[in-house]
Amino acid sequence: MMDNIDKCAVITLSREGLNTAHRIRNNFEVDIYTLEKYIVSDEKPIINSLEAFSRFLFDEYETLIYIMSTGIVVRVIAPYIEHKSVDPAVIVMDGKGQYVISLLSGHLGGANEKTRQLAKKIGGQAVITTTSDVLGKTAVDTLALALDCSIHSFKNAKEVTAAIIDQKKIAIRLDAYINLDNVNLSDNIVLEKEESQDILASIIVTNKNVVKKQSQDVVLFTKNIVLGIGCRKGTSFEDIEKYVLEKLKHHNINSKSIRKVATIDIKKDEQGLIAFCQKYKVGFVTYSAEEMEKYEELFTKSDFVKKTVGVSSVCEISGYMASNMGRKISEKECKDGMTLSIWEEKKCYTL
Protein backbone atom coordinates (compact mmCIF):
# COMPACT_ATOMS: atom_id res chain seq x y z
CA MET A 1 0.00 0.00 0.00
CA MET A 2 2.96 2.33 0.50
CA ASP A 3 4.00 2.49 -3.13
CA ASN A 4 4.32 5.14 -5.80
CA ILE A 5 0.57 5.83 -5.73
CA ASP A 6 0.41 6.32 -1.96
CA LYS A 7 2.37 9.52 -1.24
CA CYS A 8 4.31 8.87 1.95
CA ALA A 9 6.48 11.12 4.12
CA VAL A 10 8.82 10.11 6.95
CA ILE A 11 9.55 12.81 9.54
CA THR A 12 12.34 12.62 12.11
CA LEU A 13 14.13 14.99 14.50
CA SER A 14 17.18 12.88 15.35
CA ARG A 15 20.20 11.25 13.72
CA GLU A 16 19.10 7.84 15.02
CA GLY A 17 15.64 8.43 13.54
CA LEU A 18 17.24 9.37 10.23
CA ASN A 19 19.01 6.01 10.10
CA THR A 20 15.66 4.30 10.62
CA ALA A 21 14.11 6.51 7.94
CA HIS A 22 16.75 5.28 5.49
CA ARG A 23 15.82 1.69 6.37
CA ILE A 24 12.21 2.52 5.51
CA ARG A 25 13.28 4.07 2.21
CA ASN A 26 15.13 0.87 1.33
CA ASN A 27 11.72 -0.86 1.25
CA PHE A 28 9.25 1.86 0.24
CA GLU A 29 9.29 4.99 -1.89
CA VAL A 30 9.09 7.84 0.61
CA ASP A 31 10.15 11.45 1.10
CA ILE A 32 12.25 12.03 4.23
CA TYR A 33 12.00 15.26 6.22
CA THR A 34 14.42 16.14 9.01
CA LEU A 35 16.19 19.05 10.67
CA GLU A 36 18.56 20.89 8.32
CA LYS A 37 21.62 19.95 10.40
CA TYR A 38 20.98 16.23 9.78
CA ILE A 39 20.56 16.41 5.99
CA VAL A 40 23.17 14.21 4.30
CA SER A 41 21.84 13.61 0.79
CA ASP A 42 18.37 14.10 -0.67
CA GLU A 43 16.43 14.54 2.58
CA LYS A 44 14.20 17.59 2.76
CA PRO A 45 14.23 20.21 5.53
CA ILE A 46 11.47 20.73 8.07
CA ILE A 47 10.50 24.37 7.61
CA ASN A 48 9.40 26.47 10.60
CA SER A 49 7.98 24.63 13.62
CA LEU A 50 7.02 20.97 13.39
CA GLU A 51 3.39 21.84 14.20
CA ALA A 52 3.17 24.41 11.39
CA PHE A 53 4.97 22.07 8.99
CA SER A 54 2.50 19.29 9.77
CA ARG A 55 -0.20 21.39 8.08
CA PHE A 56 1.76 21.09 4.83
CA LEU A 57 2.27 17.36 5.39
CA PHE A 58 -1.47 16.77 5.99
CA ASP A 59 -2.28 18.52 2.71
CA GLU A 60 0.40 16.86 0.57
CA TYR A 61 0.67 13.24 1.74
CA GLU A 62 -1.59 10.22 2.17
CA THR A 63 0.66 8.56 4.78
CA LEU A 64 2.81 10.21 7.46
CA ILE A 65 5.40 8.27 9.46
CA TYR A 66 6.69 10.24 12.44
CA ILE A 67 9.85 8.81 14.05
CA MET A 68 9.58 10.44 17.48
CA SER A 69 7.55 10.21 20.69
CA THR A 70 3.80 9.69 20.43
CA GLY A 71 3.20 12.68 22.72
CA ILE A 72 4.98 15.07 20.35
CA VAL A 73 3.03 13.70 17.36
CA VAL A 74 -0.34 13.99 19.09
CA ARG A 75 0.33 17.63 19.94
CA VAL A 76 1.57 18.69 16.49
CA ILE A 77 -1.17 16.99 14.44
CA ALA A 78 -4.11 17.80 16.75
CA PRO A 79 -5.03 21.12 15.04
CA TYR A 80 -5.34 19.43 11.64
CA ILE A 81 -7.40 16.33 12.41
CA GLU A 82 -10.77 16.57 10.64
CA HIS A 83 -12.39 13.18 10.03
CA LYS A 84 -11.22 9.67 9.29
CA SER A 85 -12.72 9.95 5.81
CA VAL A 86 -10.18 12.66 4.85
CA ASP A 87 -7.28 12.47 7.34
CA PRO A 88 -4.04 10.84 6.19
CA ALA A 89 -2.80 7.64 7.78
CA VAL A 90 -0.48 8.57 10.66
CA ILE A 91 2.06 6.09 12.00
CA VAL A 92 4.48 6.66 14.90
CA MET A 93 7.79 4.89 15.49
CA ASP A 94 10.55 5.04 18.06
CA GLY A 95 14.04 6.02 16.87
CA LYS A 96 15.25 2.43 16.48
CA GLY A 97 12.10 1.22 14.75
CA GLN A 98 11.35 -1.34 17.45
CA TYR A 99 7.69 -0.35 17.76
CA VAL A 100 5.45 0.78 14.90
CA ILE A 101 2.18 2.33 16.11
CA SER A 102 -0.97 2.95 14.07
CA LEU A 103 -2.12 6.32 15.40
CA LEU A 104 -4.68 7.86 13.03
CA SER A 105 -6.97 6.69 10.19
CA GLY A 106 -6.42 3.04 10.98
CA HIS A 107 -9.08 1.77 8.61
CA LEU A 108 -10.04 4.26 5.91
CA GLY A 109 -6.54 5.73 5.76
CA GLY A 110 -5.06 2.25 5.83
CA ALA A 111 -2.78 2.98 8.81
CA ASN A 112 -3.36 -0.44 10.40
CA GLU A 113 -2.38 -2.41 7.31
CA LYS A 114 0.51 -0.06 6.52
CA THR A 115 1.75 -0.44 10.10
CA ARG A 116 1.80 -4.22 9.69
CA GLN A 117 3.68 -3.96 6.38
CA LEU A 118 6.19 -1.49 7.74
CA ALA A 119 6.89 -3.47 10.90
CA LYS A 120 7.41 -6.64 8.90
CA LYS A 121 9.88 -5.00 6.51
CA ILE A 122 12.08 -3.36 9.16
CA GLY A 123 11.76 -6.04 11.83
CA GLY A 124 9.68 -4.03 14.30
CA GLN A 125 6.60 -4.82 16.38
CA ALA A 126 3.27 -3.57 14.97
CA VAL A 127 1.06 -1.95 17.59
CA ILE A 128 -2.64 -1.95 16.61
CA THR A 129 -5.23 -0.82 19.16
CA THR A 130 -8.38 -0.78 17.01
CA THR A 131 -10.87 -3.06 18.79
CA SER A 132 -12.23 -4.72 15.64
CA ASP A 133 -8.71 -5.59 14.48
CA VAL A 134 -7.67 -6.90 17.88
CA LEU A 135 -10.76 -9.13 18.04
CA GLY A 136 -10.52 -10.18 14.39
CA LYS A 137 -13.87 -8.58 13.49
CA THR A 138 -14.81 -6.88 10.23
CA ALA A 139 -15.34 -3.15 10.82
CA VAL A 140 -17.62 -1.31 8.39
CA ASP A 141 -14.90 1.16 7.40
CA THR A 142 -12.45 -1.71 6.81
CA LEU A 143 -15.00 -3.35 4.53
CA ALA A 144 -15.64 -0.05 2.73
CA LEU A 145 -11.91 0.42 2.13
CA ALA A 146 -11.47 -3.13 0.85
CA LEU A 147 -14.46 -2.84 -1.48
CA ASP A 148 -13.51 0.66 -2.69
CA CYS A 149 -16.75 2.11 -1.33
CA SER A 150 -17.77 5.43 0.18
CA ILE A 151 -19.79 5.41 3.40
CA HIS A 152 -23.14 7.19 3.41
CA SER A 153 -23.46 7.63 7.19
CA PHE A 154 -20.44 7.40 9.49
CA LYS A 155 -22.78 7.45 12.47
CA ASN A 156 -24.52 4.31 11.25
CA ALA A 157 -21.18 2.76 10.30
CA LYS A 158 -19.88 3.29 13.84
CA GLU A 159 -23.02 1.78 15.39
CA VAL A 160 -23.02 -1.24 13.07
CA THR A 161 -19.31 -1.84 13.73
CA ALA A 162 -20.02 -1.75 17.47
CA ALA A 163 -22.78 -4.32 16.94
CA ILE A 164 -20.39 -6.57 14.96
CA ILE A 165 -17.85 -6.40 17.80
CA ASP A 166 -20.67 -7.23 20.24
CA GLN A 167 -21.42 -10.41 18.20
CA LYS A 168 -24.82 -9.19 16.95
CA LYS A 169 -25.97 -10.67 13.65
CA ILE A 170 -25.54 -8.26 10.73
CA ALA A 171 -26.66 -8.90 7.16
CA ILE A 172 -24.82 -7.76 4.05
CA ARG A 173 -26.97 -6.98 1.01
CA LEU A 174 -25.38 -6.89 -2.43
CA ASP A 175 -27.38 -4.41 -4.47
CA ALA A 176 -24.77 -4.09 -7.23
CA TYR A 177 -23.02 -6.26 -9.82
CA ILE A 178 -20.25 -7.53 -7.50
CA ASN A 179 -18.92 -10.84 -6.23
CA LEU A 180 -17.89 -11.38 -2.59
CA ASP A 181 -17.18 -15.10 -2.84
CA ASN A 182 -13.58 -14.63 -1.70
CA VAL A 183 -14.31 -12.07 1.02
CA ASN A 184 -13.63 -13.37 4.52
CA LEU A 185 -16.25 -11.75 6.79
CA SER A 186 -16.74 -12.07 10.54
CA ASP A 187 -18.87 -15.11 11.37
CA ASN A 188 -21.75 -12.90 12.56
CA ILE A 189 -22.02 -11.13 9.17
CA VAL A 190 -24.29 -13.12 6.86
CA LEU A 191 -25.45 -12.63 3.30
CA GLU A 192 -28.96 -11.21 3.26
CA LYS A 193 -31.25 -13.68 1.49
CA GLU A 194 -34.50 -13.34 3.35
CA GLU A 195 -36.00 -11.42 6.27
CA SER A 196 -34.80 -12.64 9.66
CA GLN A 197 -35.90 -11.39 13.05
CA ASP A 198 -32.50 -11.85 14.64
CA ILE A 199 -30.69 -9.54 12.18
CA LEU A 200 -29.97 -6.22 13.88
CA ALA A 201 -29.01 -4.20 10.81
CA SER A 202 -27.81 -4.50 7.23
CA ILE A 203 -24.74 -3.35 5.35
CA ILE A 204 -26.02 -2.45 1.90
CA VAL A 205 -23.44 -2.43 -0.89
CA THR A 206 -24.99 -0.55 -3.78
CA ASN A 207 -24.60 1.97 -6.58
CA LYS A 208 -28.24 3.01 -6.39
CA ASN A 209 -29.29 6.52 -5.45
CA VAL A 210 -32.42 5.31 -3.63
CA VAL A 211 -32.41 1.96 -1.82
CA LYS A 212 -34.83 0.20 0.46
CA LYS A 213 -33.35 0.41 3.95
CA GLN A 214 -34.08 0.67 7.63
CA SER A 215 -32.91 3.63 9.72
CA GLN A 216 -30.16 1.58 11.40
CA ASP A 217 -28.71 0.21 8.15
CA VAL A 218 -25.46 1.49 6.68
CA VAL A 219 -25.08 2.11 2.94
CA LEU A 220 -21.79 1.64 1.09
CA PHE A 221 -21.63 3.14 -2.40
CA THR A 222 -19.43 0.89 -4.52
CA LYS A 223 -17.44 2.46 -7.37
CA ASN A 224 -18.32 0.26 -10.33
CA ILE A 225 -20.14 2.60 -12.73
CA VAL A 226 -18.53 3.45 -16.06
CA LEU A 227 -19.80 6.25 -18.29
CA GLY A 228 -19.19 5.95 -22.01
CA ILE A 229 -19.40 9.47 -23.41
CA GLY A 230 -19.21 11.04 -26.85
CA CYS A 231 -19.54 14.77 -27.45
CA ARG A 232 -19.09 17.58 -29.91
CA LYS A 233 -15.79 19.42 -29.75
CA GLY A 234 -15.93 22.20 -27.18
CA THR A 235 -18.94 20.85 -25.24
CA SER A 236 -18.87 22.63 -21.89
CA PHE A 237 -18.34 21.03 -18.51
CA GLU A 238 -21.69 22.48 -17.38
CA ASP A 239 -23.58 20.78 -20.23
CA ILE A 240 -21.83 17.46 -19.65
CA GLU A 241 -22.42 17.53 -15.89
CA LYS A 242 -26.09 18.50 -16.22
CA TYR A 243 -26.77 15.76 -18.76
CA VAL A 244 -24.88 13.04 -16.87
CA LEU A 245 -26.55 13.84 -13.53
CA GLU A 246 -29.95 13.92 -15.20
CA LYS A 247 -29.42 10.45 -16.67
CA LEU A 248 -27.93 9.03 -13.47
CA LYS A 249 -31.00 10.20 -11.57
CA HIS A 250 -33.28 8.67 -14.21
CA HIS A 251 -31.54 5.29 -13.83
CA ASN A 252 -31.32 5.59 -10.01
CA ILE A 253 -27.49 5.63 -9.97
CA ASN A 254 -25.55 7.54 -7.32
CA SER A 255 -22.80 9.81 -8.64
CA LYS A 256 -20.46 8.54 -5.88
CA SER A 257 -20.44 5.20 -7.69
CA ILE A 258 -18.85 6.55 -10.89
CA ARG A 259 -15.49 4.83 -11.36
CA LYS A 260 -14.40 6.19 -14.71
CA VAL A 261 -15.37 8.00 -17.91
CA ALA A 262 -14.46 6.45 -21.26
CA THR A 263 -14.35 7.85 -24.77
CA ILE A 264 -12.34 7.79 -28.02
CA ASP A 265 -8.74 9.04 -27.97
CA ILE A 266 -9.40 12.05 -30.20
CA LYS A 267 -11.38 13.42 -27.22
CA LYS A 268 -8.50 12.99 -24.75
CA ASP A 269 -8.00 16.77 -24.52
CA GLU A 270 -11.70 17.66 -24.35
CA GLN A 271 -11.76 20.15 -21.48
CA GLY A 272 -15.40 19.57 -20.53
CA LEU A 273 -14.75 15.85 -20.01
CA ILE A 274 -11.49 16.49 -18.16
CA ALA A 275 -13.18 19.00 -15.83
CA PHE A 276 -16.01 16.54 -15.10
CA CYS A 277 -13.53 13.79 -14.16
CA GLN A 278 -11.56 16.17 -11.97
CA LYS A 279 -14.62 17.40 -10.08
CA TYR A 280 -15.93 13.89 -9.41
CA LYS A 281 -12.43 12.42 -8.89
CA VAL A 282 -12.91 9.61 -11.39
CA GLY A 283 -10.65 8.00 -13.96
CA PHE A 284 -10.56 9.08 -17.60
CA VAL A 285 -9.69 6.45 -20.23
CA THR A 286 -9.60 6.68 -24.01
CA TYR A 287 -9.31 4.13 -26.81
CA SER A 288 -8.21 4.42 -30.43
CA ALA A 289 -10.64 3.80 -33.27
CA GLU A 290 -8.59 0.71 -34.17
CA GLU A 291 -9.02 -0.72 -30.67
CA MET A 292 -12.75 -0.04 -30.72
CA GLU A 293 -13.45 -1.41 -34.21
CA LYS A 294 -13.30 -5.03 -33.05
CA TYR A 295 -16.51 -4.51 -31.03
CA GLU A 296 -18.50 -2.61 -33.68
CA GLU A 297 -20.72 -5.58 -34.52
CA LEU A 298 -22.10 -5.64 -30.96
CA PHE A 299 -23.72 -2.21 -31.13
CA THR A 300 -25.94 -0.04 -33.30
CA LYS A 301 -23.82 1.61 -35.99
CA SER A 302 -23.82 5.21 -37.12
CA ASP A 303 -22.37 5.90 -40.57
CA PHE A 304 -21.98 9.58 -39.65
CA VAL A 305 -19.96 8.76 -36.53
CA LYS A 306 -17.90 6.24 -38.49
CA LYS A 307 -17.06 8.85 -41.10
CA THR A 308 -16.27 11.48 -38.46
CA VAL A 309 -14.11 9.57 -35.94
CA GLY A 310 -13.32 6.25 -37.61
CA VAL A 311 -15.59 3.97 -35.56
CA SER A 312 -19.37 3.59 -35.72
CA SER A 313 -20.10 3.98 -31.99
CA VAL A 314 -18.16 5.89 -29.32
CA CYS A 315 -20.12 5.90 -26.07
CA GLU A 316 -21.27 2.27 -26.15
CA ILE A 317 -18.03 0.66 -27.28
CA SER A 318 -15.81 2.74 -24.96
CA GLY A 319 -18.15 2.09 -22.02
CA TYR A 320 -18.19 -1.61 -22.80
CA MET A 321 -14.39 -1.79 -22.95
CA ALA A 322 -13.77 0.34 -19.84
CA SER A 323 -16.22 -1.73 -17.78
CA ASN A 324 -14.34 -4.92 -18.69
CA MET A 325 -17.27 -6.07 -20.81
CA GLY A 326 -19.66 -5.38 -17.95
CA ARG A 327 -23.43 -5.05 -17.75
CA LYS A 328 -25.18 -2.32 -19.72
CA ILE A 329 -27.52 -0.19 -17.60
CA SER A 330 -28.63 2.15 -20.34
CA GLU A 331 -28.69 2.09 -24.12
CA LYS A 332 -27.08 4.96 -26.00
CA GLU A 333 -28.88 8.22 -25.21
CA CYS A 334 -28.35 11.50 -27.06
CA LYS A 335 -28.80 15.19 -26.33
CA ASP A 336 -27.33 18.38 -27.81
CA GLY A 337 -24.37 16.69 -29.45
CA MET A 338 -23.66 14.42 -26.47
CA THR A 339 -24.07 10.65 -26.31
CA LEU A 340 -24.03 8.59 -23.15
CA SER A 341 -24.20 4.94 -22.16
CA ILE A 342 -23.97 3.69 -18.57
CA TRP A 343 -22.22 0.45 -17.64
CA GLU A 344 -21.81 -1.56 -14.47
CA GLU A 345 -18.40 -3.14 -14.05
CA LYS A 346 -18.42 -6.55 -12.43
CA LYS A 347 -16.13 -6.48 -9.39
CA CYS A 348 -14.63 -9.43 -7.56
CA TYR A 349 -13.01 -8.86 -4.17
CA THR A 350 -10.68 -10.69 -1.83
CA LEU A 351 -10.57 -9.73 1.85
pLDDT of residue 3: 46
pTM for this one?
0.67
Identify the domain boundary among 188, 222, 256.
Answer: 222
Residue 4 pLDDT level (bands cut at 50, 70, 90): very low
Q: Considering the domain boundaries, does residue 37 fall inside one?
A: yes
Residues 264 and 340 in one domain: yes
Share of the chain above pLDDT 90, in %: 58
Residues 123 and 160 in one domain: no
Phi (first) and psi of residue 216, to 5 degrees: -90, -10
User: In the predicted model, what is the mean pLDDT of residues 280-299?
Assistant: 93
Residue pair 116/123 in contact by the 8 Å Cβ criterion = no
Identify the domain boundary among 72, 102, 129.
Answer: 129
Residue 349 pLDDT level (bands cut at 50, 70, 90): low
Residues 114 and 150 in one domain: no
Q: Considering the domain boundaries, does residue 2 fall inside one?
A: no
Q: Considering the domain boundaries, does residue 3 fall inside one?
A: no
Residues 48 and 151 in one domain: no
Q: Considering the domain boundaries, does residue 83 fall inside one?
A: yes
pLDDT of residue 86: 82
The CATH number of the domain holding residue 205 is: 3.40.1390.40
Residues 17 and 80 in one domain: yes
The better pLDDT of the pair 347, 328 is held by 328
The CATH number of the domain holding residue 326 is: 3.30.420.180
The CATH number of the domain holding residue 42 is: 3.40.50.11220
Residues 297 and 341 in one domain: yes
Q: Considering the domain boundaries, does residue 244 fall inside one?
A: yes
Cα 100 to Cα 36, 259, 304, distances in angstroms: 25, 34, 62
pLDDT of residue 134: 57
pLDDT of residue 135: 57
Residues 95 and 151 in one domain: no
Identify the domain boundary among 97, 129, 161.
Answer: 129
Q: Considering the domain boundaries, does residue 350 fall inside one?
A: no
pLDDT of residue 107: 63
The better pLDDT of the pair 141, 215 is held by 215
Q: SS3 string of the chain? A: CCCCCCCEEEEECCHHHHHHHHHHHCCCCCEEEECHHHCCCCCEECCCCHHHHHHHHHHHCCEEEEECCHHHHHHHHHHHCCCCCCCCEEEEECCCCCEEEEEECCCCCCHHHHHHHHHHHHCCEEECCCHHHHHCCCCHHHHHHHCCEEECCHHHHHHHHHHHHCCCEEEEEEECCEEEEECCCCCCEEECCCCCCCEEEEEEEECECCCCCCCCCEEEEECCEEEEEEECCCCCHHHHHHHHHHHHHHCCECHHHEEEEEEEHHHCCCHHHHHHHHHHCCEEEEECHHHHHCCHHHCCCCHHHHHHHCCCCCHHHHHHHHCCCCEEEEEEEEECCEEEEEEECCEEEEC
Determine how β-strand 63-67 pairs with β-strand 8-12. Answer: parallel
Residues 47 and 118 in one domain: yes
User: In the predicted model, what is the mean pLDDT of residues 34-61?
Assistant: 93
Question: Domains in the chain: how many in total?
Answer: 3
Residues 44 and 19 in one domain: yes
pLDDT of residue 348: 59
Full domain range(s) for residue 210: 140-222
Q: Considering the domain boundaries, does residue 351 fall inside one?
A: no
| Residue 85 confidence (pLDDT) above 90 | no
Residues 210 and 317 in one domain: no
| Residue 14 confidence (pLDDT) above 60 | yes
Q: What long-range pairs does 270-276 form, CB within 8 A, spacing at least 24?
A: 270/231, 270/233, 270/235, 271/237, 272/231, 272/234, 272/235, 272/236, 272/237, 272/239, 272/240, 273/229, 273/231, 273/240, 275/237, 276/237, 276/240, 276/241, 276/244
Digit-coded pLDDT (tens) for 169-178: 888 888 877 7
Residues 115 and 147 in one domain: no
User: In the predicted model, what is the mean pLDDT of residues 9-14?
Assistant: 96
Indicate the average pLDDT of the chain.
88
Q: Considering the domain boundaries, does residue 135 fall inside one?
A: no
Digit-coded pLDDT (tens) for 174-200: 887 777 776 778 888 887 765 566 888
Residue 320 pLDDT level (bands cut at 50, 70, 90): very high
| Residue 66 confidence (pLDDT) above 70 | yes
Digit-coded pLDDT (tens) for 104-129: 885 667 788 899 899 999 999 988 87
Residue 150 pLDDT level (bands cut at 50, 70, 90): confident
Residues 276 and 299 in one domain: yes
